[in-house]
A and B are shown apart, each in its own frame.
Chain A
Amino acid sequence: MPKQDIINSMYRVRFHGRGGQGMKTASRVLGKAFFLEGFEVQDAPRYGAERRGAPIFAYVRASRKAINERGIIRRPDLVVVADDSLVDIPAAGVSQGVSTATVVLIYSNHEPGTWKQRCSLPENVVTLPFPEDTQHEHRFISTICAGAAARLSGAISRDCLKEAVQEELADLGEEMVQANLSRALHAYDLMAPYSNLVVAGAGETGETFSKPDWIELPFEPARVSAPSIHAVLTSEKVATGLWRTMRPVIDDSLCQRCGLCNSLCPEGAISLDTAGFPQIDYVHCKGCMICVAECPTHAIHTLPEHETEKGLE
Chain B
Amino acid sequence: MKRTLLTGNAAAAWGMRLAGVDYLPAFPITPQTEIIETVARWIDTGEIDCRMVTLESEHSMITAAGAAAATGVRVFSATSSQGLLYGMEMLYTVAGWRAPFVLVNVSRGLSSPITLEPDHNDIFAARDSGFLQIHCATCQEVLDSIILAYRLAEDERVRLPVIVNLDGFYLSFTREPVEIPKSETVARFLPPFDPGNVRFRASEPVSQAVAVLGGGPYSYFRYQAHLAAMNATSVFEEIGKEFEEFFGRGYGSLETYRSDDAELVFVMLGSFATKAKDAVDRLRAAGQAVGLVRPRLLRPFPADAFRQALAGKKGVAVIDQNLSAGSGGILHRELTAALYGQPETPPVLASFIGGLGGRNIGPEDFFGIAAETSQAIAAGKTPPPRLLFSEGELKDVRQLQAIAGISPEKPGRDA
Query: Chain A's nearest CB lies how many Å from the CB of B258?
Result: 12
Contact A227 B411 (CB under 8 A): no
Tell me, yes or no, whether A121 is within 8 Å of chain B by CB: no
Tell me, yes or no, whether B195 is within 8 Å of chain A by CB: no
Query: A36-49 vs B: 1/0 string, CB under 8 Å?
Result: 00001111111111
Across the interface, name the chain B residue whose C-beta is closest to A35: B5
Contact A224 B412 (CB under 8 A): yes
If over half of A's interface residues share one DSSP class (helix, strand or loop), that class is named, otherwise mixed; here it is loop
Measured between beta carbons, the chain B residues less than 8 angstroms from A72 are 360
- Which residues between 90 and 147 of chain A lie within 8 Å of chain B, taking CB atoms? none
Known: A68-B274, A205-B282, A224-B411. A41 touches B364 (CB 8 A): no
Contact B402 A214 (CB under 8 A): no
Contact B275 A70 (CB under 8 A): yes
Known: A31-B5, A68-B275, A70-B271. A207 touches B389 (CB 8 A): no
Measured between beta carbons, the chain A residues less than 8 angstroms from B288 are 206
Across the interface, name the chain B residue whose C-beta is closest to A24: B173
Across the interface, name the chain A residue whose C-beta is closest to B390: A213
- Which residues between 38 and 91 of chain A lie within 8 Å of chain B, taking CB atoms? 40-49, 67-72, 74
Measured between beta carbons, the chain B residues less than 8 angstroms from A305 are 403
**Which of B169, B386, B413 lies in contact with A214, CB distance below 8 A?**
B386
Measured between beta carbons, the chain B residues less than 8 angstroms from A49 are 116
Tell me, yes or no, whether A210 is within 8 Å of chain B by CB: yes
Measured between beta carbons, the chain A residues less than 8 angstroms from B411 are 221, 223-224
Query: A219-237 vs B: 1/0 string, CB under 8 Å?
Result: 0110110111111100000
Contact B175 A211 (CB under 8 A): no
Q: Report how far A232 CA is from B405 CA in the complex, Å.
A: 8
Q: What range describes how many residues of A lie at the interface?
A: 35 or more
**Which of B117, B169, B285, B387 lies in contact with A44, CB distance below 8 A?**
B169
**Which of A31, A42, A215, A228 lies in contact with B391, CB distance below 8 A?**
A215
Query: Chain A's nearest CB lies how many Å from the CB of B34?
Result: 12
Tell me, yes or no, whether A151 is within 8 Å of chain B by CB: no
Q: Report how far A52 CA is from B412 CA in the complex, Å.
A: 34
Q: Report how far A207 CA is from B367 CA in the complex, Å.
A: 9
Q: Report how far A229 CA is from B174 CA in the complex, Å.
A: 33
Contact A68 B286 (CB under 8 A): no
Measured between beta carbons, the chain A residues less than 8 angstroms from B388 are 212, 214
Across the interface, name the chain A residue whose C-beta is closest to B112: A227
Q: Report how far A52 CA is from B122 CA in the complex, Å.
A: 30
Measured between beta carbons, the chain B residues less than 8 angstroms from A41 are 5, 175-177
Measured between beta carbons, the chain B residues less than 8 angstroms from A44 are 7, 169, 173-175
Which of A31, A45, A229, A230 has most B Cβ within 10 Å?
A230
Contact B367 A231 (CB under 8 A): no
Query: B362-395 vs A: 1/0 string, CB under 8 Å?
Result: 1111011011000000000000001111111010
Measured between beta carbons, the chain B residues less than 8 angstroms from A212 are 362, 364-365, 368, 388, 390
Q: Report how far A165 CA is from B176 CA in the complex, Å.
A: 18
Tell me, yes or no, whether B281 is within 8 Å of chain A by CB: yes
Across the interface, name the chain A residue whose C-beta is closest to B391: A213
Contact B286 A206 (CB under 8 A): yes
- Which residues between 13 and 36 of chain A lie within 8 Å of chain B, taking CB atoms? 28, 31-32, 35
**Which of B283, B404, B408 lies in contact with A229, CB distance below 8 A?**
B404
Contact A217 B389 (CB under 8 A): yes
Tell me, yes or no, whether B57 is within 8 Å of chain A by CB: no
Q: Report how far A74 CA is from B365 CA in the complex, Å.
A: 14
Q: Report how far A206 CA is from B279 CA in the complex, Å.
A: 7
- Which residues between 306 and 351 of chain B lie within 8 Å of chain A, taking CB atoms? none
Contact A224 B401 (CB under 8 A): yes
Measured between beta carbons, the chain A residues less than 8 angstroms from B285 are 205-207
Measured between beta carbons, the chain B residues less than 8 angstroms from A215 are 389-391, 394
Query: Chain A's nearest CB lies how many Å from the CB of B342?
Result: 30
Q: Report how far A212 CA is from B288 CA in the complex, Å.
A: 18
Contact B364 A209 (CB under 8 A): yes
Q: Report how far A72 CA is from B394 CA in the complex, Å.
A: 20
Contact B404 A228 (CB under 8 A): yes
Across the interface, name the chain B residue whose C-beta is closest to A45: B173
Which of A42, A245, A305 has most B Cβ within 10 Å?
A42
Q: List 25 A-B contacts (CB under 8 A).
A: A31-B5, A43-B174, A44-B173, A48-B117, A68-B277, A68-B281, A70-B271, A71-B170, A72-B360, A205-B282, A207-B286, A212-B390, A213-B391, A214-B387, A214-B388, A214-B391, A220-B408, A224-B401, A224-B406, A224-B411, A227-B112, A227-B113, A230-B413, A245-B403, A306-B402
User: B residues near A, CB below 8 A?
Assistant: 5, 7, 112-113, 116-117, 169-170, 173-177, 271-272, 274-275, 277-279, 281-286, 288, 360, 362-365, 367-368, 370-371, 386-392, 394, 401-408, 411-413
Beyond A42-B174, A69-B278, A212-B390, 14 extra complex contacts between A and B, CB < 8 Å = A41-B5, A44-B174, A47-B173, A205-B282, A211-B371, A212-B362, A214-B391, A223-B412, A224-B412, A226-B412, A228-B406, A230-B413, A306-B402, A306-B405
User: A residues near B, CB below 8 A?
Assistant: 28, 31-32, 35, 40-49, 67-72, 74, 203-207, 209-215, 217, 220-221, 223-224, 226-232, 245, 304-306
When A and B form their complex, which 7 residue pairs have the shortest distance between CB atoms, in order from nearest?
A: A206-B286, A68-B278, A230-B405, A44-B174, A206-B282, A206-B283, A231-B405
